[in-house]
Amino acid sequence: MHRTGELYGQFKTLEQQKETATLGMWIFLITEVMFFGGIMLAYALNRHFYYPAFAAGSNTLSLKLGGFNTVVLLASSFTMALAVWSSQVGKKTLISIFLLLTILLGFVFFGVKYVEYSQKFHHHLVPGKKFDIFYCVNNPASCPDVAADELMEESNLLDEAKAADPDLNAHAQLYYSAYFGMTGLHALHMVIGAGLLFWLLKGSLAGRFTPQWNTPVDIVGLYWHFVDIVWIYLFPLLYLIDRHK
């Protein structure tokens, strides 16, 4: 189809084109809800069956890192919203600045996630043959990044959980299946989002977005907010089971 300015040939007006793109993104987000819904159902079911193991698994996560990442993502949603606003009012330089900030915050999130994942790997908390929820408790020397008092507390919690669920190690693997499955898929969505943000940045540096036509900023914004909202669900579901310190 031929393109006239920003108007693609299959459309009659820019309004029609924008309406179409927005509707398309909303429908796509509905499919995303169904996609995450499947794994959340698996999570909910197993959490219901094996609550002690899930609570114990949750307690082995770092609340600090998770909390920090939540703040980072919320901030990135804010800068994204500002980017959309800048495109609507035609402040072309501001669009690029806010997009860049959003990308930076996204990469901060990746960095923290990398630290978390590698910790889990070293602590033998990745589902599989080597999985051992007691690894750090039993081998404190191999877990130098966990403070002694934290280890004490973890040891008590795990003993309690073990008393409630003799098959703790197997069921804690289900928790970590949920952890890696859910955060992994979320991270994959973040990666795709970051790619889209780079594409937007290229467009905004070229001065493509105007108050009359800013659909890409708008719909990528929708996507980015959605991915943030998913995290807003994941954080309490994974990090905040039975934390009452």
Give the whole-angstrom CA distance, residue 108 versus residue 114: 10
Using the rule CB under 8 A, is 147 a contact of other proteins? no
CB atoms within 10 A of CB 106: 22
Write the burial class of residue 158 (CB in 10 Å: 0-12 exposed, 13-18 middle, 19+ buried): buried
Q: By CB under 8 A, what part of segment 203-242 binds other proteins?
A: none
Name the segment binding other proteins (CB under 8 A); options: 21-29, 67-75, 139-147, 227-235. 21-29
Give the whole-angstrom CA distance, residue 206 versus residue 204: 5
Name the segment binding other proteins (CB under 8 A); options: 36-44, 92-100, 142-150, 232-240. 36-44
Q: By CB under 8 A, what part of segment 159-188 binds other proteins?
A: 167, 170-171, 173-174, 177-178, 180-181, 185
Using the rule CB under 8 A, is 13 a contact of other proteins? no
With a CB cutoff of 8 Å and minimum separation 6, the contacts of 141 are: none
With a CB cutoff of 8 Å and minimum separation 6, the contacts of 60 are: 123, 125, 133, 136, 154
Query: Shortest Cβ distance from residue 73 to other proteins (Å)?
Result: 22
Residues of the shown chain interacting with other proteins in the complex, contacts defined by CB under 8 A: 1, 8-10, 12, 16, 19-20, 23-24, 27-28, 30-32, 34-39, 41-42, 45-46, 49-50, 127-129, 167, 170-171, 173-174, 177-178, 180-181, 185
